[in-house]
Structure 1
């Protein structure tokens, strides 16, 4: 595969390009990717190299790996929810104090990625992953061995710091390799942990607590983190565009996977290709741990972050109260309650095969409408594309479906009509909610292509802090209003919040172009 150089010295300065067809190109394409024969008009400034030199199979393998890594943060947050009573009895403290560890976990889950995500945008994804895995592994061992509430509280915060950045790193890794034309499909994989982790956690935690005791939960996480660390060390290549460009720039030896290091010793790049002398090393930015906070001041990004936080907070009320509602209304054991979370996980997986393709289809539709030809191998210039409209045309219908499903879930639970009705509504709630949230995440990454990990970290900060508040008020609100009226209230807040999305859909491109023109004038002066 050609590796002539870096597409641009500034990864955010992306152009719509045309790649002349070469005799060897056809051999590099799988039969499932023949659609990319179409080419976008030539841009002389960025015609030397494709957006990434990683093959379709390599991209899929890397994104599947980082999606597993992204699960550990929300999984760790929810896996011991079924064991709260066991932990409280073992440590001889109240349930309220143990619940405090849930809130503090979410707070650190929101704060830590702002530092690690920005670090990874400057020094690479691999060093950030290694740091996260080491911290997370040590915290899990400590949690499995500790015997005091203070140690539990402190180590849960450390555990959160080690795991929380994996979601931002996963989305950033996908954005490093995937153009906007395919991000609906691939970012759906990378961000799957946001909703899949919280739904699988109670199932695993309930089974482990019931049969092996609550300490087995942390030993399970220790084994999981150890396996993931070995995979990162052995096979995960560096993808950060500020470090390796489109993948053709060799990273420093300490930033190579074991497989990549062995390939380089045989004169090949980390993907197995032979680097050329035309390859230039991208400029490295100085890390700014507060860069995520700056994004909240942007009109479009701040609006998207705010709405995403509102949606996540409402969904977290469902997650944190589902087990208690099922136990109180139906008298189920912790094992059965844990299994009742499965429709949420299945719905999240199903979105990948429905909404992800729908988002990419809408992108192709707008490309055709703008007179451009779809090309998966080269990045598209946003100046001629209403990317806000492209993403939000899919987000808004999914949000309204999520509102309806939440109301149905609330009243079926409130009236104890049918467990099947509860599970079906939870499934479709997960499909629509994860779709809307993933589309927002994709749009934020689209708008900040030069620093995707920082952008996703800002997203994570807004959502987790809102989720922490939702976890604290969920049960008191339901006790006061009932689960039925609480679902109506949350759905109403979601529906009202879509007015912000309509505003971005109508004016987002104008705001973006005005900001770009202002930045260009500043650079010329």
Structure 2
């Protein structure tokens, strides 16, 4: 090649730099504009997505929650401590609902009454857990999670002492009811607190641990009670409950922070007395929970599903001593109490899988849709709710009725239905937290769901013994299975149409609010418009 066409390395390099200058200048201009649009924050390392516009968003396929900042307030170890405290407290009220089942004949003998009367006190306990639910949810949205937890934990401790010392049957009933009213706070406010600190794609796993306490408690309660009643007085059951309540109070005081992100007490403190009373009544009115539950079909159907599961749980656990003792010739409370271990182990095994399965299902549907739809989570429990649990209950009921299969068959059926329930409850509970979180009403939705649960728990606990005596355990189990299948159909309809139902009702509510605003009467002509 000739000298005229040759190009030195220096010349080539200079030419390349000159060619790259316009590109580099364009990059610097874009970076400068981006920095001007970012808020001044020394810790910012990249563009932050705007919640108001898609303009200038970085190109990414990763899904982001709108309110993701609130889930960064606590470190992962602190979140684990919060879940551990809440899980222990969630164990208290449910274990109290069944711990005396193995000692019902002994309690009846103390108060010179019948086992049916004492069993009615357990049904009343569950009924008041349902009645209390609509109160605790709204209370926690006004005063915060921590104050409500502290008060209810201390009162649970105090009323447990009253039950242990009850001198007669009316006092026993009164203190049982008061204990139940406090205990529901652990379940409603505890679920809401987990929703405060865990984002939707991860919270079902945490809720699985929390709910394990609510399910393992009723299963292990009769076993613990059976051991105590065999060797000690039945009152020791409630002294143990007192000790657990006192320990829970200390845990809440030292390790449970305020988690509610929307707490603003100035809304209450800065108002005049009359306006403050009206505001508080509007915010804590328990009727809000019922209205919300019956306004949205998806919330109502989720309540039906939760109610069917708890009906099945308590109608299975309540009559074990009366049904299985004569079936297998058992003679002591501790022998029948051993049967409660099977569903308890099932709940424990399900804890490790149910929540993770619900979170996995949500993530899978987010990838398909590109957005999160709360009802998609319910797809994770359809098979368990509509097929597996009803099948287990039918096997349990008819093998006991027909005296077939010996001890292993009902034990295995109770274990498998226990595992399946932990695939259902995390899905239902997390759906309740997700579906109204943007409007700040998650605690009310959870409260309504627990109201359904414990109303049906009271019905199941109160009706199972008379029904089994009249129609047999096989046919009663068939009724429970049909109820579960119906609930499964309701949940399936919610997964298909729930998003559409919710969107239509929200739009109708917005239109109604706008119409009421536009229809405000104008001031009379000639008068000055009053200031608001």
Residue 316 of structure 1: aligned partner: 314
* Distance in structure 1 (CA, Å) of the matches to 2:128 and 2:101: 17
The CA RMSD measured in Å over matched residues stands at 2.6
Residue of structure 2 aligned with 1:145, choices 165, 174, 183: 165
Do structure 1's residue 407 and structure 2's residue 400 form an aligned pair? no
Do structure 1's residue 210 and structure 2's residue 230 form an aligned pair? yes
Partner SS state of residue 243, structure 1 = coil
Max Rg structure: 2
Residue of structure 1 aligned with 2:114, choices 94, 98, 110: 94
- Asked if structure 2 preserves the Cα contact closer than 8 Å seen for 1:171 and 1:452, the reply is no
Residue 300 of structure 1: aligned partner: 298
- Asked if structure 2 preserves the Cα contact closer than 8 Å seen for 1:317 and 1:470, the reply is yes
Partner SS state of residue 237, structure 1 = coil
Partner SS state of residue 221, structure 1 = helix
Higher relative contact order (CA 8 A, sep 6+): 1
* Distance in structure 1 (CA, Å) of the matches to 2:409 and 2:367: 42
The more displaced of 83-92 and 409-418 is 409-418
Shift of residue 411, structure 1, vs aligned partner: 2.1
Residue 351 of structure 1: aligned partner: 350
Residue 182 of structure 1: aligned partner: 202
* Distance in structure 2 (CA, Å) of the matches to 1:403 and 1:159: 32
The more displaced of 349-358 and 175-184 is 349-358
Which deviations, in whole Å up to 9, do the C-alpha atoms of 1:122-175 show, x marking residues without a partner? 211111111111211111111112221111011111111121221111111100
Equivalences, count: 444
Partner SS state of residue 189, structure 1 = helix
Shift of residue 462, structure 1, vs aligned partner: 1.0
**Paired residues for 1:24-39 under 5 Å:** none
Residue 176 of structure 2: aligned partner: 156
* Distance in structure 1 (CA, Å) of the matches to 2:188 and 2:86: 10
Higher helix residue share: 2
| Gap change, CA 1:148 and 1:242, over 3 Å in 2 | same
Residue 91 of structure 2: aligned partner: 71
- Asked if structure 2 preserves the Cα contact closer than 8 Å seen for 1:110 and 1:465, the reply is yes
Do structure 1's residue 393 and structure 2's residue 379 form an aligned pair? yes
* Distance in structure 1 (CA, Å) of the matches to 2:422 and 2:432: 15
Shift of residue 522, structure 1, vs aligned partner: 5.0
* Distance in structure 2 (CA, Å) of the matches to 1:431 and 1:124: 34
Shift of residue 405, structure 1, vs aligned partner: 1.0
- Asked if structure 1 preserves the Cα contact closer than 8 Å seen for 2:345 and 2:415, the reply is yes
* Distance in structure 1 (CA, Å) of the matches to 2:378 and 2:487: 13
Residue of structure 1 aligned with 2:409, choices 397, 421, 428: 421
**Paired residues for 1:103-182 under 5 Å:** 103-182=123-202
Shift of residue 50, structure 1, vs aligned partner: 4.9
Shift of residue 434, structure 1, vs aligned partner: 3.0
* Distance in structure 1 (CA, Å) of the matches to 2:407 and 2:61: 52
Shift of residue 484, structure 1, vs aligned partner: 2.1
| Gap change, CA 1:148 and 1:505, over 3 Å in 2 | same
Shift of residue 520, structure 1, vs aligned partner: 4.2
* Distance in structure 2 (CA, Å) of the matches to 1:295 and 1:338: 40
Shift of residue 518, structure 1, vs aligned partner: 3.3
- Asked if structure 2 preserves the Cα contact closer than 8 Å seen for 1:165 and 1:457, the reply is no
- Asked if structure 2 preserves the Cα contact closer than 8 Å seen for 1:121 and 1:452, the reply is no
- Note the residue ranges of structure 2 that are not aligned, 5 or more in a row: 1-40, 47-59, 270-278, 518-532
* Distance in structure 1 (CA, Å) of the matches to 2:383 and 2:191: 23
- Asked if structure 2 preserves the Cα contact closer than 8 Å seen for 1:392 and 1:439, the reply is yes
- Note the residue ranges of structure 1 that are not aligned, 5 or more in a row: 1-18, 25-37, 246-251, 253-282, 372-383
Residue 268 of structure 1: aligned partner: none
